Each structure stands twice: as structure tokens, then as C-alpha cells.
Structure 1
Amino acid sequence: MAINLDRLAGFHHNALKVRADKMEVISGNLANANTPGYKARDIDFQSAMKTAMQSSQGSQPSASSLVRTNDKHIAGGSGPNFDVKFRIQDQPDTGDGNNVDVQKERNAFLENGMRYEASLMLLNGKFSGMKKALSSGGQ
């Protein structure tokens, strides 16, 4: 019987990628909290997961499968692979055009980190179960 690792861990692997990209976006928001005119950005987890699952099933080309036609072209695969959108402003303008709410960003960072850790633990559990099944399968 063949083992399909995509079926075993595909969802959690994609969730980790989306969570890591979301962490980078939130970090950028926090780093630019005092930058005049900076607009907070975010990744919609649901739509990003749909995109990630479709690309892992082969219906969309991934950034790592891009072909460069010239050695001077920039290689794909850097930065988030998902639509990064601007956050809806929910606080009054401070006068400099920056709409980053530091407390909201910190909370989003912590929540995303906890969800990342949960996905990592679930993925680890899947692999532990697979190792256990493989080691006891030959006895």
C-alpha cells in the first residue's frame, strides 16, 4: 500500500506556510507603526488556504515552479504567495495617515503564533503516528 504524504500532512503543511506568511505581514505592520502614511496589511487565512490547497493539487502553478527565461530575471518564491490586502481601518486617523493599531497587531501576532504552534503539533502527531505504524508494521 502506497503512502500519500500529501493526504497525510498536506493541509497542515499548507496551514503552516500561510501562518508563516501572515506572521511576516503582521511583523511588517508592527515595524511600520510609526511610519507616516503606512497602511496596515493582512492575509485572509480562508482564501489563502484555498489557494494553497489548489496549488498543492496542481491546479495552479506555484512560485517555486516558475521558469526563468533569462539568468538575469529574479527567481520566484520570495515573499507571501497569497493576496496581501489592506486592513479596514477601525480607528480614527491620527493625522499622519498611518492606520496601524499596535495593540490589535500584537493580539493578531499572538493568535497567529498560537495557531501556528497548534498546526505544528498536529503535523508532528501525524508523523509520530506514521512512524509508529511503520515501525510496528514489520513485526
Structure 2
Amino acid sequence: MELFSNTFQSLENALNYSNTKQKVISQNIANSDTPNYKAKDVSKKQSFQAELESSIQSYRTDERHLSFKSEGGESSSIVTQRNVQYNNNGNSVDIDKEMTDLAANQIYYNAVSDRLSGKFKSLETVIRGGK
């Protein structure tokens, strides 16, 4: 059943991305004093690629045209930042950056959840006959 042409699926993917990002940021903050801990981040490129694949139908008329499809099936991946050190104990967590990312992710989550709520309200309005 396709409601609003993949809008719900796109919003669900955005919420899943935000959830994964929240977990990674929380892990980084929790391990900010752990010796030799390397900070992690969520790859946006793979998440964006998965969103393109799920919402855009592309047809190539020539084999030289680019394809939207990729080989990876994972919607987002967690990447460890290597060769970076902010503290003397080998830790690479920058607490100021993590707190900034946490606030930005919260704003992103709120925006997506508000949009999802709006979609459900318009669906409810349609079901009630515009009343």
C-alpha cells in the first residue's frame, strides 16, 4: 500500500537515521574519558543513497547514463574516525562537537516527527471527509 507516494517510507528512514545518530553520539559522550577510544559517526552518504534508491525510479536510456542504484544494501553505517587524537590518552572525542551534533540531531528529529505528524493529520482529515 503506497500512501502519499513513499513519503511515509522516506520519513521512517529519516527517523531511523536520527535514531542511529543519537545512539552514536551518546556512545561518544559516554566514552569521552575512555583511554584510546575513537569517536564514531554515522555515514550520511549511504543513508542518502538508500533514500534515493527507495524513492526515485530511474530508467536509463543509454548504458553511459549514471544509475541511482548502488551495491550496498545498508541504510546507514557507523564509521570510526581513525588517526585523530584530541586528548593525551589517545581519545578522539571532542565533547563540544558531540554536544553540537546532539543539538542538531534533536532539531532534525523534531522536524521529521512534526512532518510525519502532519502527514497523519492530513490522512485523518481525508478519512473523516474533510471535517
Q: TM-score, normalised by structure 1?
A: 0.70
d(CA) in 2 for partners of 1:108, 1:88:
19
Q: Which residue of 2 aligns with 1:68?
A: none
Conserved in 1, the CA contact under 8 Å of 2:24 and 2:41? yes
* CA separation of 1:88 and 1:116: change in aligned 2, threshold 3 A: farther
Is 1:106 the counterpart of 2:96? The answer is: no
* Matched residue SS, 1:85: strand
SS at match of 1:136: coil
Cα offset, 1:52, TM superposition: 5.4
Corresponding letter in the other structure for 2:42: I
The secondary structure found in structure 2 opposite 1:103 is helix
Number of residue pairs matched by the alignment: 117
* TM-score normalised to structure 2 length: 0.74
- Larger RCO (CA under 8 A, 6+ residues apart): 1
CA distance in 1, matches of 2:55, 2:7: 13
Match of residue 94, structure 1, among 87, 91, 94: 87
Instruction: Give, in angstroms, the shift of residue 43 of structure 1.
Output: 0.4
Question: Counterpart of 1:96 in 2: which secondary structure?
Answer: coil
Q: Which residue of 1 aligns with 2:2?
A: 4
CA distance in 1, matches of 2:26, 2:40: 10
Runs of 5+ consecutive residues of structure 2 not aligned to the other structure:
57-68
Is the Cα–Cα contact under 8 Å of residues 36 and 96 in structure 1 kept in the other structure?
yes
CA RMSD of aligned residues (A): 2.9
What are the within-5 Å matches in structure 2 for residues 44-59 of structure 1? 44-51=43-50, 54=53
TM-superposed CA distance for 1:27, in Å, is 0.3
| Distance change >3 Å, CA 9–CA 98, structure 1 → 2 | same
- Structure 1: which 5+ runs fail to align? 64-80
- Mapped to 2, the partners of 1:108 and 1:40 lie a distance apart of 13
Equivalents in 2 of 1:108, 1:89: separation in Å? 21
Residue matched to 2:77 = 83
Among the aligned pairs, what percent are the same residue? 28
